[in-house]
A and B are shown apart, each in its own frame.
Chain A
Amino acid sequence: SQQGEEDPQALSIQEGENATMNCSYKTSINNLQWYRQNSGRGLVHLILIRSNEREKHSGRLRVTLDTSKKSSSLLITASRAADTASYFCATDGYNNYQLIWGAGTKLIIKP
């Protein structure tokens, strides 16, 4: 079963609004990563947060990690139409090469 589960499955907001996506996982982790996928394309790495970090920023992205709740959130501020994509979280898996991926949140930004 998937360890990372994103919530919500789909999100539609107006351009300029903030978008928040959540990821929950089941077992303890060392790292959690967020990736973005445009429709029919490969995934692109957005940000990595380690278990000893609580918050990390990259441009308009803000990621938080709560290891006590086994959850992470990705906030995109001042959304743009170009942010329309699916967003996935990935957590440590059974070994150092096997990440576990959630089913993703599909984000639609309406102009």
Chain B
Amino acid sequence: DGGITQSPKYLFRKEGQNVTLSCEQNLNHDAMYWYRQDPGQGLRLIYYSQIVNDFQKGDIAEGYSVSREKKESFPLTVTSAQKNPTAFYLCASSPFRASGNTIYFGEGSWLTVV
């Protein structure tokens, strides 16, 4: 079945450690996104990519990095510079631009700092 696969579902990070969240899609979508969701909050955009080898900062990019080497893959690294990384992270994709188009989401990854 077509969709977006995020892994791992649960991840624990120690202080000063970088961690990478995986996101893979087989929908043949050009655009991919990473969102952060805090309890009881809406989604905030971290990074987005319109096309392979191109990505743009969203509203809260500080302390995060991404790459888009393949159309199917858009991994997110949470670096040690992100001081409050505990949150629910959602990867998404859309055929083209988000405005006016359905966005498809993965099942999310929970990141906790220990």
Residues of A within 8 A of B (CB): 2, 4, 30-31, 33, 35, 40-45, 48, 50, 88, 90, 92-93, 96-99, 101-104
User: Knowing that A44-B105, A101-B42, A101-B44 are A-B contacts, what are 7 other residue pairs whose CB atoms are under 8 Å apart, sorted by A's residue number?
Assistant: A31-B99, A33-B103, A40-B108, A50-B100, A96-B100, A97-B97, A101-B43
Contact assessment for B41 and A103 in the assembled complex, using a CB-CB cutoff below 8 Å: yes
- Which of B4, B31, B43, B58 neighbours the largest number of chain A CB atoms within 10 Å of its CB? B43
**Chain B residues packing against A (C-beta within 8 Å):** 4, 31, 33, 40-45, 48, 50, 56, 58-59, 88, 90, 92, 97-100, 102-108, 110
* Contact across chains for B56 and A97 when beta carbons are under 8 A apart: yes
Q: Are A2 and B42 in contact (CB under 8 A)?
A: yes
**A-B interface, 6 closest residue pairs, ranked by CB to CB distance from nearest:** A42-B105, A96-B97, A101-B42, A101-B43, A96-B99, A45-B102
User: Given the complex, which residues of B lie within 8 Å of A30, measured CB to CB?
Assistant: 99-100
